[in-house]
Chains A and B, each alone.
Chain A
Amino acid sequence: MSGKVPMRDGYGKALLELCEKRSDVMVLDADVAKSTRTVWIRDRYPEHFLDMGISEQDMVGTSAGLALSGMVPFCSTYCVFLAGRAWDQIRTTVCYNKLNVKLGGAHAGISVGPDGATHQALEDVALMRVLPNMTVIVPCDAEETRKATLAMAEISGPCFVRFGREAVPLVTDESTPFEVGKARLCRDGSDVTVFANGPMVYEAMNAAEALAKENISVRVIDLHTVKPLDEETVIRAAGETGCIVTAEEHQVHGGMGSAVAECLAANCPVPVEMVGVQDSFGESGQPQELMDKYGLNQENIEAKIRAVLKRKKA
């Protein structure tokens, strides 16, 4: 486990593997094939590829029809346009019909960088997880994105995976287990649990490492599947560590942190602090500058851990 790889490479690699093995897989893109890495399919398996042009709503509808014909479409474009612009198509056509459509949302989060707020998907997890029949996955690195994409092909029904543009550190390898709906323990600890997903898993691991030197024992769990939520793991962690921090590259409202809070409010109310974008749009800047400005980093996770531990003791 070393080096940095763009998460979208994991998406592209998985699609190559799927097209190699299966004749029923179709990969669709909306004129951003180079960005999403579906260009790899276009070049190697052109019969599996459709460029729909700049028409996201049509792409989702076409994917629905492909699914109705018995094929397995992977519908790919920037997350913000997929989950946002085509939301009604995803709701009423894909989810209401419970169709076997796979949605690959690229360029997720604020780390898209210089393109600015219009292109930074910070609401997509909220938009997708509110939909009945939908599975929502937020992998933490390129390898987990690959595994999530492969896993989606095995699930019958609508699935959404979101992944970032930037090269992020690999925190898993081929042998790391991955199961949709099953949170993954990254590091055990007893004082507090951090539920993280996406690139925040790496930041949470670093925070845990740093705080260990102060004898704060931090459990880190990769909560890659936001829906269906692994409630058992969430409730157990709350019971055993007594307080929770969530960390995601998304609005704090409606995302993974909200899903955890909803679960805990009903089952095991403990103090919760959330790391995420605080109800604002992003802006242009270098990815790391933005992650730091909006508190999507190790330092802020550490601060939230200290804050939640205070509340736990109070």
Chain B
Amino acid sequence: MNIQELKETARTVRGDILTMIHQAGSGHPGGSLSAAEIMTALYFDVMKLDPKNPEWDGRDRFILSKGHVAPVLYSVLARRGFFPAQELGTLRKLGSILQGHPHKQSTPGLDCSSGSLGQGLSIANGLAIGFKKQGKDNRVYCLMGDGELQEGQIWEAVMTAAQLKLDNLCAIVDYNRVQLDGTVPEIKDLGDLCAKWHDFGWNVIELDGHDMEQVTNAFRMAASFKGKPSVLIANTVKGKGVSFMENDCNWHGNAPSAEQLEKALAEINGGKEA
């Protein structure tokens, strides 16, 4: 896919996110929308995958540490062909393959269950260590929220990855600066986030997480960097693409009404480039 196609796919993903959360009547739109470009780039450009063979041994792995943004993951998995897009309408419903938070055994293409914050990077480290031990060249990706970085286990894992020089690992921080109760600075400030990761021994790449060209370039830079794990500090906007959701913590975990959905979809599709 070229950049234009990736942008269009991200637009489709945003529409999916809003529609499926509306249909479910609950879910987390804010942090799903902020990660749309990152997730689209990963599943349509960066990662080695085979939708026909979801358990393919040679595939790259993705750990969604911030499990509550399952809708964005489900959308890219469906659009990439791991399961039919009609399934998106069953999100959070009894018997669905799409659980409220990711459940590996339920959803084709899912590499790990998640939902209790702060745990994903450790899992990604373990995968990266395992691949190195087995002489395999699979790469590992892990998406974290910024609020999630308040969990202590993240920093245990940050030290582990640096200690073991896990350069087959790329972490991404969706730095949207909003968490459930308010903004990150007013709840528990992260300070100079790039400096923190740098001081912990990581290769740090800061970028605009909504600029598809920057996103794909950053992943390429990370993949070619040797000797250290890489982290993408992706500056993003919570609720990106929907004016009334942007930067508002009330849209961390709320479903849009039918009227709100219509307005949101119009905004997303209205910004369509020729």
Contacts and interface: CB of A to CB of B under 8 A. Distances in A.
A50 B127 CA distance: 14
A97 B129 contact: no
12 contacts: A57-B122, A57-B156, A59-B122, A62-B125, A65-B129, A67-B126, A68-B126, A69-B130, A73-B126, A92-B113, A96-B113, A98-B105
A62 B105 contact: no
Interface of A: 26, 47, 50, 52-53, 55, 57-71, 73, 88-89, 91-93, 96-98
B127 A69 contact: yes
A52 B122 CA distance: 11
Contacts of A68: 61, 111-112, 123, 126-127, 130
Contacts of B128: 65
Give the interface SS of chain A, mostly helix, strand, loop or mixed: helix
Contacts of A89: 116, 119, 122, 153
B159 A53 contact: yes
Given A52-B160, A62-B160, A96-B113, A57 B153 contact: yes
Contact of A66 (B63, B116, B130, B136): B130
Contacts of B86: none
A92 B120 CA distance: 11
Contacts, number: 112
Contacts of B156: 53, 55, 57-58
Interface string B49-80: 00000000000010100000000000000000
B153 A66 contact: no
Where chain B touches its partner, the secondary structure class is: helix
Contacts of A58: 122, 125, 153, 156-157, 160
B63 to A, nearest CB: 8
Nearest to A71: B130
Contact of A70 (B113, B115, B134): B134
B272 interface: no
Contacts of B120: 61
A79 to B, nearest CB: 20
Given A65-B125, A68-B61, A70-B134, 10 more contacts: A50-B129, A55-B153, A57-B122, A57-B153, A65-B130, A65-B140, A68-B123, A69-B126, A69-B129, A92-B114
- Using C-beta atoms within 8 Å of the partner chain, give the interface range for chain B: 35 or more
Contact of B103 (A61, A69, A96): A96
A115 to B, nearest CB: 23
A70 B128 CA distance: 11
Contact of A65 (B127, B153, B159): B127
B265 interface: no
A69 B166 CA distance: 14
Contacts of B133: 26, 47, 69, 71
A93 B133 CA distance: 22
A70 B122 contact: no
Interface string B94-120: 000000000111000001111110111
B111 to A, nearest CB: 7
Contact of A97 (B104, B118, B121, B157): B104
B127 A66 contact: yes
B61 to A, nearest CB: 7
B122 to A, nearest CB: 2
Contact of A71 (B134, B159, B160): B134
Given A68-B127, A69-B127, A92-B115, A61 B61 contact: no
A52 B104 CA distance: 26
